[in-house]
Chain A
Amino acid sequence: MMKKFEFKNLKTNSVFINLAAVSIIFLLIFVLIVTGLLSRYISSILILILVMIIMSTSLNIATGFLGQLHLGHAAFMGIGAYTASLLAILLRDSIGSDVVLFITSTVGAMILAGLAGLLIGWPALRLKGDYLGIMTLGFGEIVKTIITNMKGITNGAQGLYGIPKIMNFPTAFWTTVIVVLTIFLFMNSRHGRAILSIREDEIASESVGINISRYKLLGFVLASMFAAVGGSIFAFNIGFIAPQQFNFLRSVEIFVIVVLGGMGSLTGSIIASIVLVSLPELLREFSSYRYLLYSSLLVIMMLFRPQGLMGTREFSFTRIFKPKLVPTNDEEEPDEKGSDS
């Protein structure tokens, strides 16, 4: 009996439909950029949105799926940005192709950030909730301070100049697609389910044979590795990075996106990234009032939709193409996750 296409969580063809839809979106934007209808300023904001999509979906692994309060995610973005930039500066003469240079330095950044993720995952085995939040916050500041003080390598607080600006929209776009797809596919496997079960009930999870230490570490390491990808794109886009770009405020910004999109929803993070990055830019005309509007939006969201835009659900383009085939499960989502933050 073949049950292949009856999996509740993953229909292989739905992945292809979504990829096709994403490709169409890409083509539309790409044509607009090539024909010059979108200014350099806008396309640079688009890349910033993509960076935040990577940052928020990766934080979602640790916060949304694993259920651990993580307030130091920007540190891993910083580790990724600095490692990738330094590698690229070192290797730019020996590697001719921009894409190859990007991939090599990003892989290096992912490895280093993954190791740092192990460091933060270790105390996460013992600490929970607020305590873990404070610990991760401290870790983030430590990383920032170390980067600032390694003047010989990182040029300290003045920031690192001369990073090759090898980022362009297509590379950033498809890298983001790969990251999000990888996280999605991972979450729809036995490993992803194990991580979800830890969020739901650690004791029960252990009682059915899940090695919770291992999966907590894995969650933090994966989140850190993908954060490094975000940092890498960020650095190669602007060509200049400084330690204060990866401070506590950046961590909070990413955290807010995850909460607003819905903890445990990748598509929620994507939508929230788009809204929260572009909103301050769109409100530029209101100059001094724009952050008031932005903050009010956050307050209103939390009051009326504490579980975030998407709750724990995912948006799929299959809903548009064949709305009746997808079971709608739009009963009130649990708001426990939203309220304990």
Chain B
Amino acid sequence: MAILDVQNLGISFGGLRAVDNFEITIEDNELVGLIGPNGAGKTTIFNLLTGVYTPTDGSIHLNGKNTIGKKPSQIVMLGSGRTFQNIRLFKNMTVLDNIKIAYHNRMSYGLFGSIFKTRKYYDQEAQAYDVALELLKVFDLDMYESELAKNLPYGKQRKLEIARALATDPSILLLDEPAAGMNPQETEELMETIKLLKTRFKISILLIEHDMKLVMGICERIVVIDYGRIIAKGTPKAIRKNPAVIKAYLGE
């Protein structure tokens, strides 16, 4: 069964058809790239997939469950995690707390437990701490544990955002332009991180990116959209030569 199955997805804002007849199927542990010129509708698609917008037509199934009409927080629990184009961390909280917040739904103690500090509270908080520290270690962030998130360098903030998304235990990760604003060295490091996500966490990834070197270097399949429609899909090699793609990016 596909992790993510999207059929005939579309949304109109007034008279503007932002996304039209979009479809994508992502299998287990697959890394798919979503590219297109500026304003093509990539982030809109992410917002549709994560429940920020409700599509006007089409269907989205995540792990076999319909997500349309559900709130973003409910869709997270069905198994999707995301990062944002402009990093959105909990800036004034510690690196560790950033991860712990994402671990929220995997703990179950209630209000009573938080005030009377029950056994369950201690067990689950200790577990949250272990999981968070484990995740930070994977991304080499464990030395910043008690640093405020806003004090991290840019590349590390990206990593932290990815680590935070992973703490919700997603089966698919949606990365919105993770390399935006990074220098070549940081991009290189990011490529390694994304590869690590695939090998270590065995999750599927849908990636929006403008950095062609990154996209061509790591994606197994690429979907190209322009004006909200799919204009090409296939392997990186095929996409590179596709005349429709070249036309969309460079003009006639």
A positions within 8 Å CB-CB of B:
1-4, 6-9, 12, 182, 185-186, 188-194, 196-197, 200-201, 203-212, 312, 327, 329, 334
Contacts and interface: CB of A to CB of B under 8 A. Distances in A.
A7 B167 contact: no
Nearest to B50: A207
A208 B76 contact: yes
A173 B91 CA distance: 36
Given A7-B125, A182-B115, A194 B104 contact: yes
B73 to A, nearest CB: 5
| Interface size range on B against A | 35 or more
B168 interface: yes
B114 A186 contact: yes
Contact of A191 (B114, B128, B130): B114
B138 interface: no
Nearest to B167: A208
Contacts of A211: 71, 73
B79 to A, nearest CB: 11
B126 A190 contact: no
A239 B73 CA distance: 48
A313 to B, nearest CB: 11
A214 to B, nearest CB: 9
Interface string B86-97: 001111111011
Nearest to B105: A209
Contact of A185 (B73, B104, B114, B128): B114
Contact of A209 (B97, B104, B117): B104
B164 interface: yes
A200 B87 CA distance: 13
B101 interface: yes
Contacts of B94: 8
Contacts of A1: 130
Interface in B113-163: 113-115, 117, 121-122, 124-126, 128-130, 145-146, 150
Contacts of B97: 8-9, 193, 196
A3 B114 contact: no
Contacts of A209: 73, 76-77, 102, 104-105, 168
Contacts of B126: 2-4
Contacts of A186: 111, 114-115
Nearest to B116: A185
Contacts of B93: 193, 196-197, 200
A169 B165 CA distance: 49
Contacts of A185: 114-115, 117
Nearest to B72: A206
B113 A204 contact: no
A34 to B, nearest CB: 32
A208 B96 contact: no
Contacts of A212: 73
Given A3-B126, A190-B107, A210-B73, A197 B146 contact: no
B92 A312 contact: yes
A102 B112 CA distance: 23
A184 to B, nearest CB: 10
Given A2-B126, A197-B93, 18 more contacts: A4-B126, A6-B129, A182-B115, A186-B114, A189-B115, A190-B107, A190-B109, A200-B89, A203-B84, A203-B88, A205-B101, A206-B72, A207-B82, A208-B104, A208-B168, A209-B102, A211-B73, A334-B91
Nearest to A192: B114
Given A185-B117, A204-B84, A210-B73, A190 B50 contact: no
B114 A204 contact: no
A66 to B, nearest CB: 13
B104 A207 contact: no
B100 interface: yes
Contact of A197 (B52, B101, B117, B125): B101
Contacts of B84: 203-204, 207
Contacts of A191: 111, 114
Given A8-B96, A190-B100, A201 B130 contact: no
Contacts of A204: 84, 88-90
Contacts of B90: 196-197, 200-201, 204-205
Contacts of A182: 115
The 9 closest A-B pairs by CB, nearest first: A189-B114, A209-B76, A200-B90, A204-B88, A208-B102, A206-B72, A3-B126, A209-B105, A197-B101
A8 B146 contact: yes
| Residue among B50, B94, B102 with most chain A CB within 10 A | B102
B166 to A, nearest CB: 10
20 contacts: A1-B130, A9-B97, A190-B125, A190-B128, A193-B93, A200-B89, A201-B91, A205-B101, A207-B82, A208-B81, A208-B104, A208-B164, A209-B77, A209-B104, A209-B105, A209-B168, A210-B101, A329-B146, A334-B91, A334-B92
| Residue among A185, A194, A201, A327 with most chain B CB within 10 A | A201
Contacts of B50: 207
A44 to B, nearest CB: 31
A258 B145 CA distance: 29
A74 to B, nearest CB: 26
A310 B168 CA distance: 33
Nearest to A1: B130
A329 B97 CA distance: 15
